[in-house]
Amino acid sequence: MQTHFTPEQLQDPALADANGILRACVHCGFCTATCPTYVLLGDELDSPRGRIYLIKQMLEEGRPATVSDARHIDRCLSCLSCMSTCPSGVNYMHLIDTARVHVEKTFERPAAERLLRKLLAFVMPRPGLFRHLISAAALAKPFAPLLQRLGFRRMAAALALTPYSLPRESLGRPGHYPAEGVRKGRAVLLRGCVQSVVDPGINAATIRLLNRFGWDVTVSGGESCCGSLPHHMGKDEAALDFARRTIDQWTEENPDIIVITSSGCGTTIKDYGHMFRTDDAYAAKAQAIAARTRDISELLEMLELPQGRAGVRVAYHSACSLQHGQQLKTGPQALLRRAGFEVVEVPEGHICCGSAGTYNILQPEISQRLRDRKLANIATTAPRLIATGNIGCITQLGLKSSVPVVHTVELLDWAYGGPAPALADQAGTDAH
């Protein structure tokens, strides 16, 4: 694709990167077939190819984003299915991130939307505040249908996602958790923001499983959000501030490996080197942290876990951030099969479930259509359980699923001697 940035524009590192990405695109259109919003809406501007043209025009002209620009960029899930499909290696992730920052800085959103976005970006990355917000929102949850009828669709979507109660974090608080038996290595585990509040059992299962197979686990007390949530809302400065705090904590800890149990966070952390490429104070540290970061499934594959006899039929939903963002497409399924689970693949497994960070609040109609499509595909496999590697997907699917949705690591912990995940236990399954 030809571009027409001026030499002065190309002095900006973000525009220089965008220029290289745009020029790699041959506008073949392969991406349209695997783009969830194009599949649903059939609008070229809601496809990667269409958005690339839109972003090119917006950035080349150096103009503020229009209502149309913001609408079609906001509708992008950043699922990155297009990157798995693209034969030309177009780095759509970095391009859409640049576009989101431009929209955030130049487009004047309606006041109610601005307020909601500020609230989400400020509260969700802070676990203490987020817990209080959830507790308050639970009181208003019964009014979600009324708010939907009155046209407050985003508020209704947020309340629908709100749990009535929150589990206690019994294992996974900041501290050191020593290995059992012969020590094989030391990992730092991202405690996280949203996940540590709504489903702390995921980190607890990770600690038990790694300890059982010889790994020390440290949960540092200083990090909270990795920066992913504000990053995908175009709030780049807030994202970088959170990321710096995380980098400083983990640089001080100096572990063998950094373990991530929320794949959306993992995709962002593995991209720290790019995010800090122009920051002389953090560039080297960020690259070092990114190089040591592994999804929990990657570390578990290294451990050569023994053959198990779980014997439960599980539908594996591959989170977009894992299969497209990190290109980890088969490892989690192999781990589940080794543990003895009967793993069934989901039709249209490459299509997003509609969670995508705050997308299920900010774009509720599209999100709900994608969720219902995903659950219909899962239902064809007749599973006893649904496994996935991302808290957003667990929350999104769990809202309407008749089958329990749990994290992959919870099932593996269960198969190798740990307690049954609460939802799986309620379903009456038995892995032992």
116-172 pLDDT, tens digit per residue, is: 999 999 999 999 999 999 999 999 999 999 998 988 899 999 999 999 889 988 888
Flag the least confident range among 22-26, 280-284, 422-426.
422-426
Give the domain 175-299 fold: Rossmann fold (3.40.50)
In the prediction, which pLDDT does 15 show? 96
Decide: residue 258, CB within 10 A, 0-12 exposed, 13-18 middle, 19+ buried. buried
* pLDDT tens, position by position, 74-128: 999 999 999 999 999 999 999 999 999 999 999 999 999 999 999 999 999 999 9
The pLDDT mean for the chain works out to 94
In the prediction, which pLDDT does 170 show? 82
Mean pLDDT, range 237-258, rounded to an integer: 95
| Domain definitions of the chain by residue range | 9-106, 114-161, 175-299, 305-426
In the prediction, which pLDDT does 429 show? 60
In the prediction, which pLDDT does 422 show? 76
Decide: residue 230, CB within 10 A, 0-12 exposed, 13-18 middle, 19+ buried. buried
What is the SS3 assignment for the chain? CCCCCCCCHHHCHHHHHHHHHHHHCCCCCHHHHHCHHHHHHCCHHHCHHHHHHHHHHHHHHCCCCCHHHHHHHHCCCCCCHHHHHCCCCCCHHHHHHHHHHHHHHHCCCCHHHHHHHHHHHHHCCCHHHHHHHHHHHHHHHHHHHHHHHCCCHHHHHHHHHCCCCCCCCCCCCCEEECCCCCCCEEEEECCCCHHHHHCCHHHHHHHHHHHHCCEEEEECCCCCCCCHHHHCCCCHHHHHHHHHHHHHHHHHHCCCEEEECCHHHHHHHCCHHHHCCCCCCCHHHHHHHHHHEEEHHHHHHHCCCCCCCCCCEEEECCCHHHHHHCCCCCHHHHHHHHCCCEEEECCCCCCCCCCCCCHHHHCHHHHHHHHHHHHHHHHCCCCCEEEECCHHHHHHHHCCCCCCEEEHHHHHHHHCCCCCCHHHHHCCCCCC
**CATH architecture label of 305-426:** 3-Layer(aba) Sandwich (3.40)
In the prediction, which pLDDT does 427 show? 55
Q: Which CATH number fits domain 9-106: 1.10.1060.10, 3.30.230.10, 3.50.50.60, 1.50.40.10?
A: 1.10.1060.10
Same topology, domains 9-106 and 305-426? Answer is no
CA distances from 96 to 27, 57, 200, 254 (A): 16, 13, 31, 32
